[in-house]
Structures are given as structure tokens and as C-alpha cells.
Amino acid sequence: MKNLLNNVSGFLRKHIGKTVFITVSLLILIIFSFLKGNSYISEEWFAKGVSRYSLWAVSALVNLIPFSVTELFFVVAIVIIVLCIVKIIRNISKKRWNKIFDILYKITAVAVGMVLVINVFFTFSYNRYPLGEELGLENHKITMENAVKSGEYYIEKAKSLENNFERDQQGAVISPYSFRETVELVQKEYERLDSDYFNPFTVTPKPMMFSSIMSYMGFTGVFFPFFAEVNINTKAPSYTIPMTICHEIAHSKGVMRENEANSVAYYLLITSENEFLQYCGFMYASNIMLSETYDSKDRSFYEKTYNLMSKTMLGEYSASYELWASYDTFVDDIFTWINNFYLTQSGVASGVKSYSETGEFLVRLYYTINSENLKY
């Protein structure tokens, strides 16, 4: 026992810097876990303070770099992880236990540091005040009746625009804009948000070089807090890309909860003056309202909404489903579990299901659009 204690003591002295860093970081994380329970602190100290200015400083630099820093980071990280595993295996075979502990201690220090950065940049915003009335929408609770009514509106709007664009052989819409042009259109839409709730800077999303790998992981887009960078999967169906760009920029604006990021995206797309952006928003909204009616015990609500959809809309949804089905493997399941774990640990009780929890918002948007409060 004495020898063991001496070995541990010697090991900690050898790694005094890492030991202090890990200890202090863990203490800070414990303090953070208590602070997150206070919405005022999350909102005023972090979402509108430390997190906002940290993200602004990083994004100002990263936006100048033309390629995805996030992709480069993960490539380097994978190489380092593989090298660490190889070293550990070699040291195990030679019973060099001290060297194994050295490697594991370094990995621990890096992991704790990353978690600390994520907390400062990112996770406090999950506990800020709700998006609430920042978009000026009327207050309406969702019912099956107004879900059908709202769904009918969104479907009819999508149908009125569906013939304005070219389509491929599978019936999927072909975007009339390049990726860069789409980004610029969405960035311009964000200029309409003048509330202090949103970060004042707007990042420039970048296309992912490894979009196919991203598809197998089940991701359409990623906002990576370390670099305040938005990356978009360009292999996704064309009608989903503006929505993804809007959603991920919303994260960079401080809107972290997934349903609220989607809500901001619905609002900007549907109330845009650009027909393609409108179409993309209406297609998403129609599908959400259809899902809301599907959950009803009375199937007539679902059937009424479904029967309103045109063959073109159904063909669009079918083409999208088939595309994603081609990437559906165990890899997707693994990353869905990871994302779900991350969201639940960040305070989002419903995890990945929160993405689709926007039915009530779309009902409120419908009533606001059709009132004197919001015309476009």
C-alpha cells in the first residue's frame, strides 16, 4: 500500500500542471452545474455575456478561413486518437504502465478542457429564457382543429409555389441558387431580427467537404462551438438546405434549444420575400402539421391533412426519404444516440425529439400571418 501511495504521489508531482488544471476545471464545472439552474445567470451572464463575446471573437477569425476548420479539427483528432490507441497497445504489451497512465492523463486533461470550453461557449444557452415573444407572434395553443387549419394553409402555400422550380427525375426540387447564394439569402433574412435576444454577429456557413460521411452520421448541419463555425451537409435534399442553414445560424445567434432554432428558421423562411425560401419553409411546416394530426386518436384529422397534399409534395418527401434511407446504417444510430445523450445532459428532456416540437409555434405563426400583426 505504501509503495502504491508513493507511486501515485510521484505521478501527481510529475504531472503537477495537468493535475491542477483538471482539479480546477472540475471544480468550475461543478459550480457551473449549480449556476445553470438560474435562468437569469444563464441569460445575462453567459448567453448575453461571456458566451456571446467569446463566440464573436472566435467567429471573427474563423469566418476569414475559407475551408471548414471543424473538419480539419476532427481529422487531426481522429489521427491523434488512433496514435494514442497504438501507443497504449504497445505499452500494454511491454507492461509500461507509467507510460499508459501518462497518455490517459493527457487525454483526461484535454477532455476536461473541452467540456469546460463547451460550457462557456454553449451549454448555458440551453437554460436561458425561452424565445417567447421575441418574434412578435400571437399566443395560440395547439389543438387538432387549428393544427388542421394551419396545415391546410401551409400546404396550399407550398402547392402554389411548387411549379415555379425545376425538378430532377425523382421529383426533388432543384435549387435555383448556388450554396454561396443560398447562404447570402439566409444571412440577409437574419437582418430582420433586431432583438437583443440574438447575437448581433452573423456567421457564414461553410459546405462540408465530407458531406457523404456526414450523411452516414445522420447530420444535415453542425454548429461547432469551439470555432463558432456552421457546417452544412451539401448532399442533403435541396429543399432542406435553407432550413438547415437557418437552423444552424440560429445556434450561433444564441438560440440553442433545437425546437426554438427550428422555429426561428420557420419564421424567417416562411415570411421571406424570396419564393424558394418560402417554398422550403412551407414544405417543412406542412410535414410538421401532418405529424401533429397523426398523433390524434381521430384519424380523420390526419387523413384530411394528408389528402390536401399534391403529388409533387408527396414526391418531394418520398425522394428525401429514399435519399436518407440509402445512408441509414448503425453509424447513424450511434450518432443519434450521442446527440440524444448530449441534449438530455444539456437540459433538453426530450432529446432529439425536441427538433420536431414546433407544432404550437407554427399554429401561432399561422394566426399571426393571417392577422394585421404580420403581413408579407
pLDDT tens-digit series, residues 177-196: 999 999 999 999 999 998 99
| 136 in a structural domain | no
Phi-psi region of 351 (alpha: psi -120 to 50; beta: other; left: phi over 0): left
**Per-residue pLDDT band at 344 (split at 50, 70, 90):** confident
220 shares its domain with 295: yes
69 shares its domain with 174: no
pLDDT digits (tens, 9 = 90+) for 271-313: 999 999 999 999 999 999 999 888 777 788 889 999 999 999 9
pLDDT greater at residue 354 or residue 221: 221
| 376 in a structural domain | no
**Per-residue pLDDT band at 10 (split at 50, 70, 90):** low
pLDDT of 375 higher than 80: no
167 shares its domain with 309: yes
**Tell me, what's the pLDDT at 267?**
96
246 shares its domain with 324: yes
Q: What does the longest C-alpha to C-alpha distance in the chain come to?
A: 80
Residue 167 phi, psi (nearest 5): -135, 155
How many structural domains does the chain have? Answer: 2
| 138 in a structural domain | no
Q: Which residues contact 186 (CB under 8 A, 6 or more apart)?
A: 205, 242, 245, 246, 249, 268, 277
236 shares its domain with 364: yes
Domain boundary residue, one of 67, 98, 127 = 127
**Tell me, what's the pLDDT at 376?**
46
Q: What is the mean pLDDT of residues 49-78?
A: 91
Domain boundary residue, one of 94, 127, 160 = 127
pLDDT greater at residue 352 or residue 12: 352
206 shares its domain with 353: yes
122 shares its domain with 152: no
Q: Say how far apart CA 90 and CA 76 lie, in whole Å.
A: 21
Q: What is the mean pLDDT of residues 53-69?
A: 92
pLDDT of 227 higher than 80: yes
| 243 in a structural domain | yes
Q: Which residues contact 194 (CB under 8 A, 6 or more apart)?
A: none
24 shares its domain with 121: yes
Instruction: Domain of residue 185: give its range.
Output: 144-369
**Per-residue pLDDT band at 346 (split at 50, 70, 90):** low
The pTM assigned to this predicted structure is: 0.89
pLDDT of 62 higher than 80: yes
Domain boundary residue, one of 102, 127, 152 = 127
173 shares its domain with 296: yes
| 236 in a structural domain | yes
Which of 97-101, 234-238, 266-270 bottoms out in mean pLDDT, i.e. has the lowest?
A: 97-101
286 shares its domain with 222: yes
